[in-house]
Amino acid sequence: MSLIDVSRLNEFDEDMVIRFPIRPHTFKKGKVRLMSIDAFEKAIDPSRLSILKLIAFGVSKPSIIGVKLKMPKSTLYRHLSVLMKYGWIERSSNGLVFSAPIYLAYEVESGKPGSLGLRLLNGKGAFIDEKTGFIIINGVRPIQNCLKCPMLRQCTEHVKLLAHEFNVTLRSKTPAEAYIEVLTWVTSKNLARILNSIYLDLSIR
């Protein structure tokens, strides 16, 4: 995997970490967004990553995004429609914002008839840390270039504090993977508690 320079978003493979700065008030706080693998990977596209980068920088108006990216209006709105449909961004009174500070990917595992499993994936996810930025992790191999990142020390210290707070024993080799490990563990625990204590209504089409 490699840490991607956001100025070269066309040059990436399927296993990577992307990080770019984040500005305050560009994301909704207080929730974790669970996404299917398909929904998560809708963002792993050069044009959509460029759009997310601008939103992170505080460029929230579609018209300005289109000008900065020199992207035809129809193309821009097609990409925005995908990002909104699959849960990455949403509209607010201030324009486009990220839907949550934490995104975790899951896959559904079908077992015996009447049995269904939901598995959160450590190798795919995204999170917003106001100090280190907006980080997208996509892949399963160890993130070697994470060790070359100038934010390594800051990320390592922060994720250790986070793990200690939630009593999580880290097994990941890099801070980026460790963030997802902690967030996945916490989400799994809370999700299990919620599912055991309330009911769910499903829409049948």
Tell me, what DSSP letter sits at residue 5? Answer: P
Q: Specify the range with the lowest mean pLDDT, choosing from 12-16, 119-123, 179-183, 191-195.
A: 12-16
The label of the residue with tokens 């129809």 reads 74
47: amino acid identity, one letter? S
The label of the residue with tokens 């990080």 reads 19
pLDDT score of 10 more than 50:
no
| pLDDT at residue 13 in the model | 44
C-beta pairs of 105-110 under 8 Å, 24+ apart in sequence: 105/34, 105/35, 105/36, 105/37, 105/39, 105/40, 106/34, 106/35, 106/36, 106/37, 107/36, 107/37, 108/36
pTM: 0.79
Residue 83 confidence class, pLDDT cut points 50, 70, 90 = very high
